[in-house]
Amino acid sequence: MRRVVYISLEEIISKNTKIKTYSSQLRRSFIITKKDLRIYYNKPPVLIQGIIFPIILFIAITIGRNIPSNYLFSGLITMVLFLTSTSIGPIIFPWESLRKTFERMITCPISLKAILLGNLWSGFIYGMIFSSIPLIIGIFSLLIFNGFNIFFIILTMMVAAITFGALSLILSSPPTTNPGDTMVMTILIKFPLIFISPLFTPIDINSIALISPLTYLVDLINIGLGEFSAFGTFGILIDFSILIIFGFVLLILAFALHQRTLQKRFTG
């Protein structure tokens, strides 16, 4: 017997309205992204943590060590992508709060989540641009690894950049008008993650390394270079799943933290 489902006109209008609202907020988040990239890409904290630190760390970690080219390649991309993707986010909210521009922005017809997504996209783009530099260098100088898959590596970088961008939103959640405060917290969180991750070395599966999302990024890049996963047959599925879960949880947590600290930004 055929079952007929009736949908009221109000339900149809409500669904269409929600779709239009979500698409409108998404478009506005891209406007925030354009603003962030135009204003903050050359700020000293961004340049220091996003560009200068990776260079210094790379030299300090690799100098005088005979590191195989594949580990050099995967470790460098991972470190640059992580530091650049998380460099813009922590300074945006303190800077906007200090200059009182955040108050004007929050009164515009744009949600807090859309603003946060705009910050996430800016970190994503910034990270992809600068991490593509070691990727290009590797293609033309370290090549060619047996089984090299550039499309797989780019996909991996995109997923990781979104995950790291979500982490940067959490680092920007403290209601302060001093960018230095978030920079201190950023250093205390990001650099331990770098040092417990198996950068420039074979992946040693242990409880400490598994805490860091960088471990799974390194493993995926190694797979893109033609190596076997350190996590076995289902390594690709495990790596992508954990990175996506990390990103989703961090994003939801960032939404909650910023909603909780929003009022404190205006009351001091």
- pLDDT, greater one: 102 or 9: 102
Q: Which of 88, 78, 124 is nearest to 247 (CA)?
A: 124
In whole numbers, what is the pLDDT of the chain averaged over residues? 83
Residue 65's closest CA among 195, 198, 201?
201
What is the rounded CA–CA span in Å between residue 133 and residue 80? 9
Give percent of the chain with pLDDT exceeding 90: 25
Mean pLDDT of 87-98: 84
Confidence of residue 107 (pLDDT cuts 50, 70, 90): confident
Give the model confidence (pLDDT) of 10-42 as tens digits: 555 555 677 777 788 888 888 888 888 888 777
CB-CB neighbours of 183 under 10 Å: 18
Distance CA 166, CA 123 (A): 9
Report the predicted TM-score, pTM, of the whole model to 2 decimal places.
0.87
Share of the chain above pLDDT 70, in %: 90
Q: In this predicted structure, what is the pLDDT of residue 6?
A: 47
Tell me what pLDDT residue 58 has.
80
Residue 50 clears pLDDT 80, i.e. is over it: no
Q: Which H or E element spans position 179? A: helix 179-196
- pLDDT value at 244 more than 70: yes
Rounded distance between C-alpha atoms, residue 81 and residue 123, angstroms: 10
Question: What's the pLDDT band for 57 if we cut at 50, 70, 90?
Answer: confident
Q: What is the mean pLDDT of residues 61-67?
A: 79
CB count in 10 Å sphere of residue 31 = 13
Dump pLDDT digits (tens) for 114-171. Answer: 899 999 999 999 989 888 888 887 776 655 556 678 889 999 999 999 999 999 999 8
The more confidently predicted of residues 76 and 101 is 76
pLDDT at 253: 95
